[in-house]
Chain A
Amino acid sequence: MLRVENLSKEFRNSRGRQRNVVKAVSNLSFQCQPGEIYGLLGPNGAGKTTTLRCLSTLIKPTSGNVWIDQYNVLEHGQIFRSKIGFLTSDMKLDGYFTPDYMMNWFGQLNKMEDCRIEQQKEKLFNDLQMTDFIHKKIDQLSTGMKQKTAVAISLIHDPEVIIFDEPTSGLDVITSKAVTDFLVSRADSGKIVIISTHNMTIAEKLCHRFGILVDGELKEEGTLSDIIEGSSWDNLEDVFFSYILPGGNHV
């Protein structure tokens, strides 16, 4: 089980003489069970990336903590990293190498045995339908193929928790579906999946539970029916807009 406990993150910016503190995430708490896909929704600058970076040990929370079972992010960074797979949409892999080479390399970085790497490679290449292009240079691949490669690389060590920051942004519907189907299959096999997105249609179809994040604060949390029942709207998108559009009843 993954548990986020009162997570806050502040950035101190010093632009010129001015020093100001940006509260990117304030007092965020939620939980995810194995088999569950959790969607973190929010407009630009809401704090989604910041939250996911805290979850993946890249940055340290100002206060609060994150737990995976009995391990927490502040004390057990190394173990934490072995349990998570992290991916951001704005990542561009070095085009010089092949997907196959990168998989091997990231496998080694994760201290995996060679035979285990081979097993994982075969499984991921099949599941993501990548076998046609694993020996081509990444430079020569389409955007969708690149994203599939990135997904495969981030999961080479078969982590319990999958943390993807906007995994479908910039993809066409077919690749987008391939990626989301893949995530569903992971969740079905007992993994915890956490994604961030602005795409309500995908979120509604894909996620079991949602958190709506606005200005670093969690405004709504729960399943689709939890969220809709407590509001005067009948779909996720309208609830979302009511928090962020001027004139919305929560603004």
Chain B
Amino acid sequence: MFKDSLIILRKELRRIFTDRRLLFMLVVLPLVMLPLMYSFMGRANKARMVEINSYSSRITICSGEGGEEVRGWFFESLSALNAHVETAGTYELDSLKQRVIDKDLEVLVVMPDSMDDHIRAGSAFDLSIFYNSTGDYSKFAFDQVDIAFAAVGEAIIRQRIMESGMSEDVLTAFTINKQLAAGEFADLAEEGSMMGKLIGVMLPFFIVIYLFANSMKVGLDSVAGEKERGTLAMLLVNQVSRLSIVLGKMISVMVAAIVGAVSSAIGLRIASRYLISMTSDSGASISEYTMGSTAVLQFAIVVIPLAILISSLVLLVSTFARNVKEGQGMIMPVYIAVMVMGVTTMQTGDIPPEWMRMTPIFNSLVVLKDIFMQDAVWGNIVFSLATSLVVSAVLIFITLRMFNDERVLFRI
């Protein structure tokens, strides 16, 4: 029997691994997709930063009467910015606001009358700063103005404190992280664990996507395609048993699925470097993540049964459907449901709810995440393995029943 399965399997595998187009979709695509996407996003991000920094923002300060000296401080504070600063009178306020709306002006500052009276009296006054968040540079310019003006405010307070006879030291209650010893870092994350966490969060999603996509690419054609082409009948009038046919096809679909999962894992590993350099400010935590041999073993123990489960699911649908198109229509809702599961595992925190651990497919995804976070528990791993295998056995049993049922095989 296994020899017969092998004959079937050999042909299916030859079909997959010698067809350059199919191979590209099954192996190369999952591998290069993420790195390409992230390197592209990283590059776009960098280009954007360069562009923003080289842009000279247009800022207008609109002020009332008097207070020239104080106004001078504010002007001074903006001189370090890459900006073109103008002044205007309050009578122009409405037209200036319109210019902000029209994105003709990035920032509009409105200052009250006689600010120097307030300074002298030691009282507070109101500044209004307008910007337009839909403009490309407006919010960025606003943040810069905000920071610059805060420095002016601090200088004023410093001045007041010194005038009152106190030391300016009272302005500083404490400092953070000034006393770290040489070679000591504030981020105590273990070597590589940041990349591990990142991979752990994203991988279950991509694994399940490619397990499914590859199973569908190979599995739907495998039976529904043969029905459609009429070659299934040719296969059935031979000496091989139907169990051998189902097993042979099943294993070939599984191989395609696993190849996709491993490729996408490698792809994500490569991509995570771009991802980290995009999300973290300091380069310090970009250390490499390497999977230990235990993690590799655990990964295999979870992914292989999951691949068996998903390929049996696809093969069942493929056997039931009259043709590839009908099969695609039937499997789509399941595919979407599984994608939602993937997204859900991505968003749940470190301790997933119990029902996730009990649900087939879901529990494998959760455990996969644990493995990369380096806190997988063997009990959970074995449980996910067991549920996947039990569900697969049921699915294969049903598929086999259908394979022996002429009403399913020759459905019109």
Q: Which residues of A contact B (CB under 8 A)?
A: 53, 56-60, 78, 81-82, 84-88, 90-94, 96-97, 105-106, 108-111, 153-154
Contact = CB atoms under 8 A, between A and B. Distances in A.
Interface stretch (B110-118, B228-236, B332-340, B387-395): B228-236
Nearest to B410: A59
Contacts of B43: none
B239 A81 contact: yes
16 contacts: A53-B233, A53-B410, A58-B236, A86-B233, A86-B234, A86-B237, A88-B230, A91-B229, A91-B231, A91-B233, A105-B11, A106-B234, A109-B240, A110-B238, A110-B239, A111-B239
B237 A96 contact: no
B7 interface: yes
Contacts of B48: none
Contacts of B236: 57-58
A84 B237 contact: yes
B15 A96 contact: yes
B406 interface: yes
A105 B234 contact: no
Contacts of B4: 109
A60 B231 CA distance: 19
B231 A93 contact: yes
Contacts of B229: 91-94
B19 interface: yes
A92 B231 CA distance: 7
Contact of A81 (B19, B238, B409, B410): B238
B201 to A, nearest CB: 39
B7 A109 contact: yes
A156 to B, nearest CB: 10
A96 B19 contact: yes
Among B19, B235, B410, the most chain A Cβ lie within 10 Å of the Cβ of B410
A68 to B, nearest CB: 14
B233 A94 contact: no
B401 to A, nearest CB: 15
A153 B7 CA distance: 16
A149 to B, nearest CB: 12
B237 A105 contact: no
Given A91-B233, A93-B231, A109 B238 contact: yes
Interface residues of B, number: 20
A53 to B, nearest CB: 7
Interface in B1-18: 4, 7-8, 11, 15
A109 B19 CA distance: 23
Given A53-B233, A94-B229, 14 more contacts: A53-B410, A57-B236, A57-B237, A58-B409, A58-B410, A60-B406, A78-B239, A81-B238, A81-B239, A85-B237, A88-B233, A91-B229, A94-B231, A109-B239
Contacts of A91: 229-231, 233-234
A93 B15 CA distance: 13
Nearest to B244: A109
Contacts of A82: 239
B68 to A, nearest CB: 85
Contacts of B409: 58
A105 B7 contact: yes
Interface string B231-257: 101111111100000000000000000
Contacts of B235: 109
Nearest to B4: A109
Contacts of A90: 230
B237 A58 contact: yes
A106 B238 contact: yes
Given A56-B237, A81-B239, A110-B238, A92 B230 contact: yes
Contacts of A92: 229-231
Nearest to A59: B406
Nearest to B10: A105
A81 B235 CA distance: 11
A93 B228 CA distance: 11
A206 to B, nearest CB: 23
Contact of A58 (B8, B11, B240, B406): B406
A15 to B, nearest CB: 11
Nearest to B229: A92
A82 B239 CA distance: 7
Contacts of B11: 97, 105
A94 B11 CA distance: 11
Nearest to A92: B229
A93 B55 CA distance: 63
B237 A81 contact: yes
